[in-house]
A = this chain, B = another copy of it.
Amino acid sequence: LLHINDSRLLNTLDELSEIGATSQGGVTRLCLSDDEVEAKRYIIELMKRAGLEVHVDPVANVIGVLNSAAETKLVACGSHVDTVIDGGRYDGSYGVLAAIEALRSFKESEIKLGHPLAAIAFANEEGVRFPAMVGSKYATGLITLKDVFALRGTDGATFEEALTKSKLELESDSFLAKHIPGTYLELHIEQGPVLENEGKQIGIVENIVGTRQIEVGIHGSADHAGTTPMDARKDALLFASKIIQFVNKLSLELGKGSVGTIGFLEVTPNAPNVIPGEVRLIIDFRNSSANIIDLASSKLNEMVKDTANKDRVQISIRQRADLPPADMTDSIASLIQEITDDLGLTWRRMQSGAGHDAMIMRRIADTGMIFVPSKRGKSHSPMEETAGDDLIHGANVLANTLMKISK
């Protein structure tokens, strides 16, 4: 069994977490922001130091290749280096750095490989600045280059404008379209409390829940807060409060691991003495069953249609993102389990409540995900934390699984 270089992995995690570090102790690296571009440059340099052949494809997926001369199917692994606002230092970064470390260890140990291997940092996994998973969707042909370029970020700039501003040197062809991976592995922190609560070292993902994001615009009337009687108001925020409570109640009723969140809400004009004229909010529904997500969406539509008129507001609804649930590949999960046992680590099979590039890569490749514990289940927060030992265990499971597949 191979053992990766522990201190080197932990050092690179420390170094990368300094790029975009926030005063809260977290990290903010929105896709193609100055800090995220700096993080990509760090990854490119690290791949070069590891002796990998580096490709930066037209949407700024960063790909480091080992044993590129082999004509067999590509064995890929990776994650992303973009983050949410004031997110944690492990989400995404850990999977990318462990992938590079695994390939670097193979090279240093002169492991004989039958396949080419790639460590990937996918572009814009988080759905903050742009809709989620742009990089893996492009790599798998789910979205064209033209459509990626036209995506408009929350700051108003298009993806193409952000790419130009980044000054990254992009290749004109899609490396992953030319070298379609036969396998994709992703190592990630759990981002939930299950492994910690059960005292398990490794999570083997069987299923990733689907996510649907629905953007709702509520159009009322921005009238004077002092002179407009209560019964004559068209208060967009009052209606928003009904949607917030409805989504919460609905998600509790649907059960079966259903979650529903309103994480984004913006009031216009947002002045203390003006009744809110406009509210824009985004609902995020998740479930392992596509049917339950459909049911949640239609119940929401129904509620809005039934009550908006009575509350004298106009509503516009559009689907912002829709990632169907994805089952991981059984044979890959069994292999991960076998190697985890060989390494003497404890494990459990589980589902992922968070979306990952793995759910996109599953469409073209045999895919598996490996989880390590998140302390207190914290993620998307500066309080995200995983013990050093757990980080090393996960990286060793990844490296040995890759090695076995690439034999």
Contact = CB atoms under 8 A, between A and B. Distances in A.
A51 interface: no
A286 B225 contact: yes
A286 B226 contact: yes
Contact of A226 (B191, B226, B238, B248): B191
A251 B225 CA distance: 12
Contacts of A237: 244, 262-263, 265
A235 to B, nearest CB: 8
Interface stretch (A8-16, A272-280, A339-347, A394-402): A272-280
Scoring A126, A230, A235, A258 by chain B CB atoms within 10 A of each residue's CB, the highest score goes to A230
Contacts of A213: 272
A278 B237 CA distance: 17
Number of chain copies forming the complex: 2
A250 to B, nearest CB: 10
Contact of A238 (B126, B225, B227, B245): B245
Contacts of A276: 262-263, 265
Contacts of A355: 226
Interface stretch (A105-113, A179-187, A372-380): A372-380
A284 interface: yes
A127 B226 CA distance: 13
A261 interface: yes
19 contacts: A84-B273, A86-B269, A128-B271, A191-B226, A191-B227, A193-B232, A224-B354, A224-B381, A225-B263, A225-B284, A225-B286, A225-B380, A227-B352, A227-B379, A237-B265, A261-B272, A263-B269, A263-B271, A272-B320
Interface of A: 84-86, 126-128, 132, 190-193, 209, 211, 213, 221-232, 235, 237-238, 240-242, 244-245, 248, 251-252, 257-267, 269-277, 282, 284, 286, 320, 352-355, 377-381
